[in-house]
Amino acid sequence: MRRGLVVVAVLAATAVAGCGTEEDLVVAGTAPAAPYDGPLYVPVRSLDEDGPRATRIESGAAGRALECDGEIYSGGRSEPWSEGDGGSTPEDGLGAYFEIEQPDVPRSGYRVEREENGRVLFSYDVDGRTKVAVVVAEDRKDRPGWGPETSASCDPAELPESFTATMEYEIWTDEAGHRVPITEISSSAGSAHCDWQQAHFLGLGVYRDRKLYARDPDGVLDPGMLNAAYDGDVPMPDDAHDTGYRHGERRLWLTDDKSTAYVRTPDGVEAWPQVKDGMGCK
C-alpha cells in the first residue's frame, strides 16, 4: 500500500492499535449527507512517484470515496492471497483487510455505504464524512473469498483523537487549535529497536522538502547523525519566528534557514538540531 508521505523510519514505528472490539467492527451507522455514488471498481495502476496524485490513482474506488479535509494520505490495491485467507461474507472480508494489510486505522465503527456486483464499500466516518474507505470484493483473480480490493484513508489528523492517542506519532495543532496533518508536522519518541527511546524526533515539511530534527538530552544518538549538538537551554534567536505549531506545552519557532528547530517550553528554549540525511540504526 502506498503512503502519501515518505515516512522517516523513526516516525513510522507506529504500533497497530485497535479501537473497540471485533463485535463492533461493522455498525449500522448513519448515511452521510452525500454518500459515494461512483463505481465500486476503478482500474488502478502503479506509478513510480510519491504524492497524493499517485496515491489516488493507486487506490481506485476507495480513494474516490474519501471525503478528506486535506489530501489523501494512504491507499492502494491489496496483494493476492491464498485459499482460506478470505472470508465467507463481506464483513469477513473487512476483517481480512485488517489481518492481511495491518493498516494504521481504526478497527471498529465501519458501516456499509454501498453494495454493487459482488463488491461492498465500507466507510469509517467522522462527523458524517468518510475518512477511511475499504472496498471488499468476492472471488477476484488471486483473491479467493471475500477480502479487500482497494483501500484508502485521510491523514491521521482527521481521525478521532481517541484513536490517534493510541498511536506513537504525535499530532500537533496550529495557533487556532486545529489539528495539523502529520504530512506537514509530526513527532514521536525514538525507536526502541534502536535504543533511542530517550530521544525525540520532529518531522517538518512534505516529501523531498521534509526535514527531521532531534531532541537528545541524554546523548543516546550518535553525534555523527546530527548537524549540530542538541542544547536544552539557548536564547531564542532574534530572527526566529513563531510557526504557530503547538504540541502540549511545546511551541515551535524557526529561523528562515530552518537549520535548527527552536522549541519553546515553560522552562525555556531548546535547540533541536537537524538530522543528517540517510541516518538510521542497525
Average pLDDT for 163-174: 96
133 and 230 part of one domain: no
In the predicted structure, residue 18 carries a pLDDT above the cut 70: no
Element spanning 177, H or E:
none
Express as a percent the part of the chain with pLDDT over 90.
81
Query: Is 164 a member of any domain?
Result: no
- Count CB atoms within 10 A of the CB of residue 99: 12
What pLDDT, on the 0 to 100 scale, is given for residue 50?
A: 81
145 and 187 part of one domain: no
35 and 141 part of one domain: yes
pLDDT band at 280 (very low <50, low <70, confident <90, very high): confident
In the predicted structure, residue 1 carries a pLDDT above the cut 60: no
Check if the beta carbon of residue 100 is closer than 8 Å to that of residue 86. Answer: no
Rg (CA), the chain: 21
Query: Is 162 a member of any domain?
Result: no
Q: Distance between CA atoms of 245 and 73, rounded to whole angstroms?
A: 20
124 and 243 part of one domain: no
Element spanning 133, H or E:
strand 129-140
Query: Is 31 a member of any domain?
Result: yes
Range of the domain at 208: 170-273
Element spanning 65, H or E:
helix 60-65
Q: What is the pTM of this model?
A: 0.87
Domain count along the chain: 2
Query: Is 254 a member of any domain?
Result: yes
What pLDDT, on the 0 to 100 scale, is given for residue 34?
A: 79
What pLDDT, on the 0 to 100 scale, is given for residue 16?
A: 33
Q: Distance between CA atoms of 240 and 178, rounded to whole angstroms?
A: 23
In this structure, what C-alpha cell is assigned to residue 275? 538530522
123 and 199 part of one domain: no
133 and 181 part of one domain: no
136 and 197 part of one domain: no
Q: What is the mean pLDDT of the chain?
A: 90
In the predicted structure, residue 4 carries a pLDDT above the cut 60: no
Query: Is 61 a member of any domain?
Result: yes
In the predicted structure, residue 282 carries a pLDDT above the cut 70: no
Q: Distance between CA atoms of 213 and 230, rounded to whole angstroms?
A: 10
DSSP code, position 260: E
Q: Distance between CA atoms of 234 and 237, rounded to whole angstroms?
A: 9
148 and 200 part of one domain: no
User: How many residues comprise the chain?
Assistant: 282
